[in-house]
Amino acid sequence: MKINRIFFLLVLALIVIFSGSADSRQLLQLRVLTYNIHHGEGMDGRFDYERLAKVILSEKPDVVAVQEVDRKTQRASGVDQAELLGKLTGMNSAYGRAMYYSGGEYGEAILSRFPIGEAKFHPLPFTTGREPRTALVAQIKPDNGLPEFLFAGTHLCHQSEELRTDQARQINSLLPETGEMPVILAGDLNSRTGSSTMQELLDKRWIDATKTISRIDYILLRPNDPWQVVEVKNIEERVASDHLPVLAVLEWTGNVE
């Protein structure tokens, strides 16, 4: 009986240990989403922010790069879309202006369930007759064991491959190539794999976490940051926007404090 009791306790201890290990690994995952929301207007012509929030929350992301975000424009009836989506999703928000438009502004947003530290927007190269573009870079401060990281969201020019490549080159110069703090770049790059824009990014700096499904929306990682890609998927919602949201689930395999 004593031997059986000891064996039972050993088995129970192993179950607890492995269960704790699985929980720890789960805590070291990061769910990253990029979503072009078509200035808030769905394919049915409706500005339905509850619907957009539901789409965003459907995959329980930790951080979201949001493109085509209106801020107090006449087109969007004066709504600050970044702020409102933050409230509807229960996430922190940051906004970066690309240009003044329709009595307000138009640009990028970042949503994060973690605290957002410093957030800055950086104008990208543009030429007369093209829409100005920006890169919004925020310091994300996880509270679940993951290290702090830089998260950059952007939307490159849809009209000129040459300009897109210049914008990609500028982004490479803005974001650190090396360093202890990880960097993630996400957004609507308006470029196909093999284009000069993607060559500028992938050949010189980044790896494509979403390469199995990438079309023009991407989530990019630095090669030396110890992420493992666990899952990638498109969220099949075709009414809320003219883009499908793209999700990447990343697992941190490096050291943590």
Q: Can you list the positions of beta strands (E) in 82-235?
A: 92-101, 104-112, 116-123, 134-140, 149-155, 183-188, 207-208, 217-221, 227-234
Q: What is the rounded CA–CA span in Å between residue 126 and residue 133?
A: 7
The mean pLDDT of 124-129, rounded to a whole number, is 93
Residue pLDDT, tens place only, 32-52: 999 999 999 999 999 999 999
- Residue among 29, 32, 35 at smallest CA distance from 221: 32
Segment 11-23 mean pLDDT: 48
Phi, psi of 85 (to 5 degrees): -65, -35
Length of the chain: 257
Domains, the chain, ordered by start: 2-252 (3.60.10.10)
Categorize the per-residue pLDDT at 163 as very low, low, confident or very high, splitting at 50, 70 and 90: very high
| pLDDT band, very low/low/confident/very high, at 25 (cuts 50, 70, 90) | very low
Residue 256: the pLDDT is: 77
Beta bridge partners of 170: none
User: Residue 14: is its pLDDT beyond 80?
Assistant: no
pTM of the full structure: 0.90
Mean pLDDT of 237-250: 98
**Assigned token pair, 215:** 């079309």
For all residues of the chain together, what is the average pLDDT?
92
